Amino acid sequence: MSNGKSFTAAAVQAAPVFLDKKGTVEKVLRLIKEAAGNGAELVVFPEAFIPTYPYWPKDMGFGAEKKLTMDAHVELHRNSVEVPGEDTKRIGEAARKAKTCVVIGVNEKEGGTLYNTILYFGTDGTLLGRHRKLMSIDSEKCVWANGTAEDVRVFDTAVGKIGGLFCYEHHMTLEKYAMFTKGEQVHVGLWGGHSFVKDTMDFASRQYAFEGQVFVIISAGFIEESMIPDSFPLKEHTIWDYPGGSGIINPRGQYIVGPVYGKEEILYAEIELDQIIRAKTVIDSVGHFSRPDIFRFEIME
């Protein structure tokens, strides 16, 4: 589980170039370079960062109002990412040059369907794989299709075993346990940065770290109304209250750094993998504390 090594992780709290895939990818490349220049060997970006989380109303009414939501969806699809594709190639090349692992949330398009997807890149620039959000909440269901069992994954990387979930997936009890059983050491939690989930983001992330004896890297989106072009038809229909809440938490459920609200910032922390073993001497959720003689768990792969 642990070989005594440590590394620096970076949680990016930033705004995309709104609904502009090209501009947002360029920003991603700059931020990877900046974080790596500050010693980061793992750089994590927020949920649906390319080209933006769909903050606007996604299921408005009928007639003229419905047309606005459909127009916004078309623009989101137009600026979404194909996996693999030219955009993933550029991000992978940036990871290779920086010699850092990169984890990023994107809107992924496959034909006419969109997925809320986490992409994982190794230090050699290889696209290691993806996680598609298993279950969207509320009006997100109007935007993204669901992932499958093959999206419950943990990746071996140069810095350790990394896995991740989105937002309210942190309340899917069996999905969480599945990640623990796969040997997750560093968990990336990607969030849209909504103000109304600040408390939820905090307690869900701390509980995840404590329950799984893992480090949790929270990367939450941040965006303000001034960043939205006046030409966006749903600007006046949206409450632009997305302050972020990024931070890095140790396996005892304690913040090492953060949470940070109300600004763009890259947060850094030293990850010492031996802390996982220290936590597991008290509670090992998939070992001596799991009572496999009583309970059984199966992933339908």
| In the chain, % of residues over pLDDT 70 | 97
Q: Is residue 257 part of a domain?
A: yes
Q: Is residue 288 part of a domain?
A: no
Lowest mean pLDDT segment, chosen from 55-59, 85-89, 184-188, 270-274: 55-59
pLDDT of residue 72: 92
Catalytic residue IDs: 47, 133, 167
The 3-state secondary structure of the chain reads: CCCCCEEEEEEEECCCCCCCHHHHHHHHHHHHHHHHHCCCCEEECCCCCECCCCCCCCCCCCHHHHHHHHHHHHHHHHCCECCCCHHHHHHHHHHHHHCCEEEEEEEEEECCEEEEEEEEECCCCCEEEEEECCCCCHHHHHCCECCCHHHCCEEEECCEEEEEEEHHHHHCHHHHHHHHHCCCCEEEEEECCCHHHHHHHHHHHHHHHHHHCCEEEEEECCECHHHCCCCCCCHHHCCCCECEEEEEECCCCCEEEEEEECCCEEEEEEEECHHHHHHHCCCCCCCCCCCCCCCCCCCCC
Whether the pLDDT of residue 1 is over 50: the answer is no
Print the domain residue range for 212. Answer: 6-280
Q: What is the pLDDT of residues 67-79, one digit of tens each?
A: 888 899 999 999 9
Q: Is residue 293 part of a domain?
A: no
User: Number of folded domains in the chain?
Assistant: 1
Q: What is the pLDDT of residues 138-180, one digit of tens each?
A: 888 889 999 999 999 999 999 999 999 999 999 999 999 999 9
Segment 231-246 shows an average pLDDT of: 94
138: domain CATH number is 3.60.110.10
Main-chain phi, psi angles of 228, to 5 degrees: -100, 125
Q: Is residue 57 part of a domain?
A: yes
**Predicted structure pTM score:** 0.94
pLDDT of residue 142: 86
Band the pLDDT of 249: cuts 50, 70, 90: very high
Whether the pLDDT of residue 299 is over 60: the answer is yes
pLDDT of residue 59: 76
Q: Is residue 291 part of a domain?
A: no
Whether the pLDDT of residue 57 is over 80: the answer is yes
Q: Is residue 300 part of a domain?
A: no
Q: Is residue 62 part of a domain?
A: yes
